[in-house]
Amino acid sequence: MFRRAPDRIRAQVTFTFDGIPITASAEDSVAAALLAAGVRACRTTPVSGSARGPYCMMGVCFECLVRIDGVGNRQGCLVQVRDGMKVETQKGAHALSAEPAL
């Protein structure tokens, strides 16, 4: 769906998305890297459970939420991708790390 502009192909890094290795430009945000790799959905909503993917790419829409290196609710468009980064689909609401049993 998206093609990289030729002047944006520079140093490359590799990260994983749900365990699958993806190669990206070192200057990409996580959201841009996912879109460039053809990933269309990276989270499901807490209310209806429907699938969502990066939309505004500027920190406003919160559709690109993912888990990064075990931390939920990260806005993929505001985080630069790093070599070895572990990105995962965020399913529903982010569970707070110290979440007690209800």
Q: Should residue 11 be labelled a site residue for other proteins when binding is judged by CB under 8 A?
A: no
Biggest alpha carbon–alpha carbon distance for the chain: 52
Q: What is the DSSP letter of 79?
A: S
CB of 88 to other proteins, least distance (A): 15
* Half-sphere CA count of 64, side-chain side, radius 13 A: 23
CA distances from residue 74 to 8, 45, 53, 70, 92 in whole angstroms, order as listed:
24, 14, 13, 10, 13
CB of 95 to other proteins, least distance (A): 4
Chain positions 73 to 102 lying near other proteins, rule: CB under 8 A, are: 73, 75, 92-102
SS3 41: coil
Taking CB under 8 A as the rule, which mask of x and - marks residues 20-39 in contact with other proteins? --------------------
Identify which of residues 9 and 46 has a Cβ nearer to other proteins in the complex.
46
The residue ranges that bind other proteins (CB under 8 A) are 46-47, 62, 65, 73, 75, 92-102
